[in-house]
Amino acid sequence: MIIVGMGDVGRTIADALEEFNIGYDAVERDGARLRSAVADGYNASFGDASDTRLWRALDLGGRQFSVMTASSIAAGRDWFPSSLALYPDLHRLWVTGSDDEAAQLNELGIEAVVSPDESHGLEAAQALLTAFGIAPDAVSAWAERQRARIASPIAA
Q: For the segment 71-100, what is each residue's pLDDT rounded down to a tens digit? A: 677 767 778 888 888 999 999 899 998 899
Domain boundaries in the chain?
2-151
CA 40 to chain CA centroid, nearest Å = 17
pLDDT number for residue 81:
81
pLDDT number for residue 120:
87
Nearest CA-CA partner of 3 in 86, 103, 124: 124
pLDDT number for residue 39:
98
Q: Which CATH number among 3.30.565.10, 3.40.50.720, 3.40.190.10, 3.30.365.10 corresponds to the domain 2-151?
A: 3.40.50.720
Longest CA–CA separation in the chain, Å: 45
Vertex 105: Cα angle to 117 and 107 (nearest 5): 150
Q: How far apart are CA 105 and CA 30, in angstroms?
A: 24
Question: Which residues, listed in sequence order, are joined to residue 25 by a DSSP beta bridge?
Answer: 2
- Segments in the chain below pLDDT 70: 70-71, 75, 153-156
pLDDT number for residue 154:
67
Helix locations, 27-135, DSSP H: 31-39, 52-57, 73-76, 80-86, 99-107, 122-131
pLDDT number for residue 128:
95
Instruction: For residue 141, give the H/E element and its range.
Output: helix 136-151
CA 86 to chain CA centroid, nearest Å = 20
pLDDT number for residue 118:
78
- Neighbouring residues of 72: CB distance < 8 A, sequence distance ≥ 6: none
What is the pTM (predicted TM-score) of this model?
Answer: 0.90
